[in-house]
């Protein structure tokens, strides 16, 4: 990190450097994406674990989740005002706005994917597969054919981020944890019965399982390439109640066929930089097909933030943050501002490219 350490606080003095020293061009191919007089800014802090940023282009605001605090937050582009957007949020994690401008949220506590309609109503898009309750949907994106694709790992069974299983379940085998504490009256504890997976919600409402845990262990963030011919999925670490080895912090790519068909699985990146594992979580593509990926390097502080990869899986750039980054998205009126939800804070950086589509 910079030396002496910089002050990221919202009211702190701006950086005096012409090019932000925490924007690192690993390869010359990244240099055209850097705006020299744009610096990383911490817009807000105060979350317990910030996740799932999504940009509303019509309202010109950013929504993100503060999972343990059971709320969604909103940042207004016009004056930087931050307020609670939705509380309780059912420990919502990933958020997205579809091509019709409707917010889609993945809820940990209820194990469902919800769409907020333009008239203010809410629609449950998915809460079960094959008659069995989902685990804890994590991230969601829409395909131009109208289908929604989402991941369903077990992280919502963490006491910190959602509800542990009912007594005897995979994340609560001894039954010492009471999942009803802090919940509304009548909350029925659930027990995990489905393996981790990636699903597709067809416009007809049919739900297909498109990837199993054997194919992508502990699937987390996902996004499409700009032409929607490639699906990228992050495989993160072992979750609560997992019996297998768990994910290794890698990104996989698949060719997208018609409907729910995927083929040609391949390792896109092992996310190891300078020998440091920069665990991926959320990711987004820009219009040139580069992947901007959140990085969780733990105590290897200088490697937390964002890694940027070419369409061929070559590391070209890094954005260093003083906190672990959980997820990111492109937004702003020109969709050229990178918003980063990182641990307790929200950061932003103007870049010389645009996000590939709606957040």
Per-residue pLDDT of the chain (359 residues; tens, 9 = 90+): 777 778 888 788 777 677 899 999 999 999 999 999 899 999 999 999 999 999 999 999 999 999 999 999 999 999 999 999 999 999 999 999 999 999 999 999 999 999 999 999 999 999 999 999 999 999 999 999 999 999 999 999 999 999 999 999 999 999 999 999 999 898 888 999 999 999 999 999 999 999 999 999 999 999 999 999 999 999 999 999 998 889 999 999 999 999 999 999 999 999 999 999 999 999 999 999 999 999 999 999 999 999 999 999 999 999 999 999 999 999 999 999 999 999 999 999 999 999 998 87
CA 111 – CA 108 distance, rounded (Å):
5
**What is the model's pLDDT at position 2?**
74
Tokens of 131: 């008659």
DSSP assigned state of 6: P
Tokens of 128: 């079960």
> pTM for the whole thing?
0.96
In a domain, 298, yes or no: no
Cβ atoms of residues 306 and 328 within 8 Å: yes
DSSP assigned state of 351: B
Please report the DSSP string for 183-194 in residue order: S-TT-------S
Cβ atoms of residues 51 and 69 within 8 Å: no
Distance from CA of residue 59 to its chain's centroid?
21
In a domain, 129, yes or no: yes
Beta-sheet strand order (sheet of 250-256): 219-224, 230-235, 250-256, 262-269
In a domain, 126, yes or no: yes
> What is the domain-level CATH number for residue 209?
2.120.10.30
In a domain, 139, yes or no: yes
Q: Which long-range contacts (CB under 8 A, 24 or more apart) does 245-254 make?
A: 245/217, 246/217, 246/218, 247/216, 247/217, 247/218, 247/219, 247/220, 248/217, 249/277, 249/278, 249/279, 249/280, 249/296, 250/280, 251/280, 251/283, 251/291, 251/293, 251/309, 252/215, 252/216, 254/211, 254/230
In a domain, 314, yes or no: no
Structural domain span for residue 210: 52-284
pLDDT digits (tens, 9 = 90+) for 274-302: 999 999 999 999 999 999 999 999 999 99
In a domain, 350, yes or no: no
CB within 8 Å of 168: residues ≥ 6 apart: 175, 191
Q: What's the number of domains the chain is made of?
A: 1
Tokens of 137: 């949907």
Cβ atoms of residues 162 and 91 within 8 Å: yes
In a domain, 58, yes or no: yes
In a domain, 221, yes or no: yes
Task: Report the sign of the C-alpha dihedral through residues 206, 54, 73, 180, in that order.
Answer: positive
């Amino acid at each position: 990190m910079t030396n002496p350490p910089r002050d990221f606080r919202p009211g702190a003095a701006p950086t005096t450097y012409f090019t932000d020293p925490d924007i690192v061009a690993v390869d010359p191919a990244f240099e055209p994406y850097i705006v020299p007089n744009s610096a990383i800014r911490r817009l807000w802090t105060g979350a317990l674990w910030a996740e799932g940023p999504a940009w509303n282009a019509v309202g010109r605001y950013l929504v993100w989740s503060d999972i343990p605090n059971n709320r969604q937050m909103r940042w207004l582009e016009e004056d930087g005002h931050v307020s609670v957007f939705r509380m309780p949020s059912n420990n919502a994690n990933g958020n997205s706005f579809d091509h019709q401008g409707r917010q889609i949220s993945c809820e940990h506590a209820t194990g469902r994917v919800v769409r907020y309609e333009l008239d203010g109503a809410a629609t449950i898009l998915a809460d079960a597969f094959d008659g069995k309750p989902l685990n804890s949907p994590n991230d969601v994106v829409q395909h131009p054919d109208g289908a929604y694709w989402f991941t369903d790992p077990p992280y919502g069974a963490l006491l910190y981020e959602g509800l542990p299983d009912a007594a005897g379940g995979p994340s609560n085998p001894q039954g010492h944890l009471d999942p009803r504490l802090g919940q509304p009256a009548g909350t029925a504890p659930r027990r995990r019965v489905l393996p981790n997976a990636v699903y597709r919600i067809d416009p007809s409402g049919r739900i297909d399982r498109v990837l199993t845990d054997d194919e992508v262990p502990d699937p987390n963030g996902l996004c499409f390439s700009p032409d929607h011919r490639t699906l990228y999925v992050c495989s993160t670490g072992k979750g609560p109640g997992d019996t297998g080895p768990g994910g290794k912090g890698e990104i996989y790519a698949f060719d997208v066929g018609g409907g729910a068909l995927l083929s040609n699985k391949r390792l896109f990146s092992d996310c190891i930089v300078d020998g440091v594992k920069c665990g991926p979580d959320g990711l987004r593509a820009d219009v040139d097909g580069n992947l901007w990926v959140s990085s969780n390097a733990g105590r290897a502080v200088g490697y937390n933030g964002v890694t940027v990869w070419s369409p061929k899986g070559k590391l070209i750039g890094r954005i260093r943050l003083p906190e672990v980054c959980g997820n990111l998205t492109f937004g702003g009126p020109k969709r050229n501002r990178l918003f980063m939800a990182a641990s307790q804070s929200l950061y932003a950086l103007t870049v010389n490219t645009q996000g590939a589509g709606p957040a």
